Amino acid sequence: IGEELTAVPTPGHSPGHSSLLVSSGGEQAIVSGDAIVHPAQATEPTWNVHFDMDKEQAARTREMLLAWLEADGITVAAGHIPGSGFGRVVRDGGEDGRRYWLALEKRQETDLPGIDLSRGGRS
């Protein structure tokens, strides 16, 4: 799409499903769309939702996507995940080294003057 916005094919949920990678200032974040819909999928990528049209493809896509997000430390914006929906995919330091969803705290204020997220974005 451009230097700062890249469409990433993430098939399985629906034909042609894509996520959007945002790159700016040396950092990256991905809007995952319906590729990741529950925090448990970071640990169990084969867990599908009823609405995944091709469940096997969705699981394969999710496994590859999660491995990449973890390896590169990419922030994820997952709209269906409760809370802010922002998080990272990280690995447990324990023996099993399981991958899991680390939710990022919701900010109360942004750098934009006059916007207070604690009041629904209204000034």
Q: What is the pLDDT of residue 110?
A: 46
Lowest mean pLDDT among 14-23, 63-72, 87-96: 87-96
Which residue range is the domain that position 76 belongs to? 5-119
CATH code for position 16: 3.60.15.10
Q: Kindly report the number of other CB atoms within 10 A of residue 80's CB atom.
A: 13
pLDDT band at 107 (very low <50, low <70, confident <90, very high): low
Model confidence at 108: pLDDT above 50: no
State residue 70 phi and psi, 5-degree precision. -65, -50
Q: Is 118 helix (H, G, I), strand (E, B) or coil?
A: helix
Number of domains in the chain: 1
Q: Whole-number mean pLDDT of the chain?
A: 87
For strands 5-9 and 18-24, give the pairing: antiparallel
Sheet with 27-31, edge to edge strand ranges? 5-9, 18-24, 27-31, 75-77, 86-91, 99-103
Average pLDDT estimate for 1-19? 92
d(CA 59, CA 8): 16
Q: Which two tokens stand for residue 16?
A: 């042609």
Whether the CB-CB separation of 32 and 85 falls below 8 Å is answered with no
Average pLDDT estimate for 80-108? 86
